Structure 1
Amino acid sequence: MERNVILKYLRGETSPEERIKMLRWLEKDPAHLEEYKYLRRIFDATLCNEENIPLSIHSSRSTNRRIWMQVAAAVAFICLFAGGTWLYTQHLSENQAELLATRDIHVPVGQRTEITLNDGTRIWLNSNTTLHIESQKGKDLRRVCLNGEAYFEVTPNKHLPFVVQTGSHEIQVLGTKFSIFAYKDRNDFSVKLYEGAVDVSDKQNATTLRLSPDEEAKMSDGGQLIKAPFDKTESLLWIEGIYHFEDTDYASIFRQMKEYYKVDFDVRNPQILQYKCTCKFRQEDGLKHILEILQRIHRFEYEWSDDEQTVIIR
């Protein structure tokens, strides 16, 4: 695979044809996946904004030094296209490079990533997710905008509330652990709280809910923001690259696969949507493997459309 195509994929700039080609290349050989992981680490280390926000490098000798993100980006891309991928990746690993701040992050289809903000807040981003981080300079809060799925461990700061904006919803915290599912082209929305407290606001209906640990805010069938308890036992397996479904109907599984792999599903037999299963999949196994497993649980046939953008299921 040409590295310029891999780079476009990391940036989320591939055409539909290039994306399909990329996913098939990854599935073809484990060595391809390992090469991709090397390039992914470099790309993650070079995410930067337009304000030259510095990157902190923590060395194994416990000494800290500051370097500018643009320098890191320049070195990384030279390594990327000059064949020095392994050396630069090793350098980052040995020095435990930590990404402190950025502006826009997009996680490509079928991938996930983790970042650390300059206040110590850690964020895990799932497949096909975009995060915009606003500059904090001169502001009395910390704000990010999310389209997709993420898990947050927010560093406490009573003087600077942390706010997540997701379309028509807003989540405000001081310091806590919570997850959000909010893809802009989906009606599904949920906030699950694991520790601390959060306020979830629905601006359209002028509703605000205060969540306690083990509570979830979500939209009811009638379009109202409600809260309910949830089982957190395996709700964050996606952070480890595992998709877990518990007694879930195929309609819901297909909706999530649409977001994670950016493909459409055309189900010609409505009965298939009512099938249910309890199962786990590894993200790296790819959509083809997931469909094959679902076929074994409840029989159906599928094929790709001519443009390879839609899975037709019968």
Structure 2
Amino acid sequence: MEIDKELLKRYIEGRASDRERILAYRWISAHPQHLKRYLTEKRLYELSLFRSAEKQTEKPDGEKKKGIFALKNIRIARRVKYAAAAVCLLLAIASLWNRFTKRSDASALRTVYVPTAQMTSLTLDDGTLIELGSNSKLSFPPVFDKKERDVYLSGRAFFKVAKNRRRPFVVTTRDGAITVMGTMFYVDAIPERNIFTVSLIEGQVLISLNKEVEKPLQLKPKDRAVLKNGRLVVSPIVDYDEFLWREGILSFKEKNLEEIISQLSLLYNLKIIIQNRDLCLKQTHTYSGKFRQLDGIDYALQVLKQKIGFDYERDERTGEIYIR
């Protein structure tokens, strides 16, 4: 089976529809040669983004400015036979990234933006690995040459920070900052939803709120801190499946319909309105399940429709979805 060139191009650039993403994913997974072609064209596209970002960093008068670009669809499903090739591609991109950025002013921030329902991975100058989720943005310097390794996050991310006790790694968000020496943790920092959560897997982190309402909190492994009513509330991590977003999977356990719809709305950057308030009254009715991001919002709503029993329609003009 051959894939339409324009469809593959839209998929690589993050402009494909839900149906087109499914078709592209199935084609890539069907044969090793398909994956090879996809990786080749993806690499050419990403290299063009890096070159574009490099050109944006210098104005005619020599003044530096921020380079903003998007890295899309870098993560390939791990069960694909030749997924190792994707890892090699990431390493090559990271190497090129370092080569390009070190030429420019180290003080100029770079910004990576991840489009809806996609993910990306990148390795920073110090060796820190970061995986960004859907609709997330990360700003960082090309070279860490100051006392602290500062990055700025809006959205969802996983960090595996390279150890350097003399130079702390600091993740700054709208609501607070996370300071680490070397560790693995997750951050959900979504201003438009008033979400700020830090989940620590190993190591130690220090969380400081920007409003200085309380002293910095030191979080322990396997615990999470959630900002509620201006204060950090600490509890054990119960469901590790929620971190499957790194594999392109949305997982929910014993959630009611409103909570599930909220997660879907966030993932696909859509406004979903529950007009049937009787559904919301069933707060004691909870559901558990998993969806693949690539399957799209319509697939998820169809499954929920059959399970829960509701109708929905999309406003083609605004893109909003109404559950009746």
Alignment pair present for 1:99 and 2:109: no
SS of residue in 2 equivalent to 1:231: coil
CA distance in 1, matches of 2:258, 2:295: 21
Task: Give the one of 212, 217, 226 matched to 1:218.
Answer: 226
CA distance in 1, matches of 2:192, 2:168: 28
CA distance in 2, matches of 1:95, 1:155: 17
CA RMSD of aligned residues (A): 3.2
1:45: how far off? 5.2
| Distance verdict in 2 for CA 1:187–1:94, change over 3 Å | closer
Match of residue 287 from structure 2:
277
CA distance in 2, matches of 1:193, 1:203: 20
Match of residue 268 from structure 2:
261
Verify the 8 A CA contact 2:12 2:42 in the aligned structure 1. Answer: no
Q: TM-score, normalised by structure 2?
A: 0.73
1:142: how far off? 0.8
| Distance verdict in 2 for CA 1:94–1:261, change over 3 Å | closer
> How many residues of Structure 1 are paired with residues of Structure 2 in the alignment?
269
CA distance in 2, matches of 1:156, 1:205: 27
Task: Give the one of 14, 17, 36 matched to 1:22.
Answer: 17
Task: Give the one of 10, 33, 39 matched to 1:6.
Answer: 10
Verify the 8 A CA contact 2:128 2:162 in the aligned structure 1. Answer: yes
Match of residue 289 from structure 1:
299
Amino acid at match of 2:112: I
Match of residue 168 from structure 1:
175
1:98: how far off? 4.5
1:258: how far off? 1.7
Match of residue 178 from structure 1:
185
CA distance in 2, matches of 1:94, 1:201: 36
Alignment pair present for 1:124 and 2:131: yes
Alignment of 1:26-37 (within 5 A): 26-28=21-23, 30-31=26-27
1:163: how far off? 0.7
Alignment of 1:6-155 (within 5 A): 6=10, 9-10=13-14, 22-28=17-23, 30-31=26-27, 38=39, 39-44=41-46, 48=50, 49-50=53-54, 93=88, 97-100=92-95, 101=98, 103-155=110-162
Q: TM-score, normalised by structure 1?
A: 0.75
CA distance in 1, matches of 2:89, 2:250: 31
| Distance verdict in 2 for CA 1:277–1:94, change over 3 Å | closer
CA distance in 2, matches of 1:95, 1:233: 25
| Distance verdict in 2 for CA 1:227–1:260, change over 3 Å | same
SS of residue in 2 equivalent to 1:303: strand
Verify the 8 A CA contact 1:98 1:116 in the aligned structure 2. Answer: no
Amino acid at match of 2:298: K
| Distance verdict in 2 for CA 1:308–1:32, change over 3 Å | farther
1:5: how far off? 7.3
Q: Which runs of 5+ in 2 are unaligned?
A: 58-68, 70-84, 102-109
Query: CA offsets per residue over residues 5-29 of structure 1, 9 Å max, x none?
Result: 738954xxxxxxxx5x633422356
SS of residue in 2 equivalent to 1:217: strand
1:237: how far off? 1.1
Match of residue 249 from structure 1:
256
CA distance in 1, matches of 2:10, 2:90: 25
Query: CA offsets per residue over residues 16-64 of structure 1, 9 Å max, x none?
Result: xxx5x633422356338978954545445555454999xxxxxxxxxxx
| Distance verdict in 2 for CA 1:218–1:296, change over 3 Å | same
Amino acid at match of 1:295: K
Task: Give the one of 181, 198, 203 matched to 1:191.
Answer: 198
Verify the 8 A CA contact 1:47 1:105 in the aligned structure 2. Answer: no
Structure with bigger strand share is 1
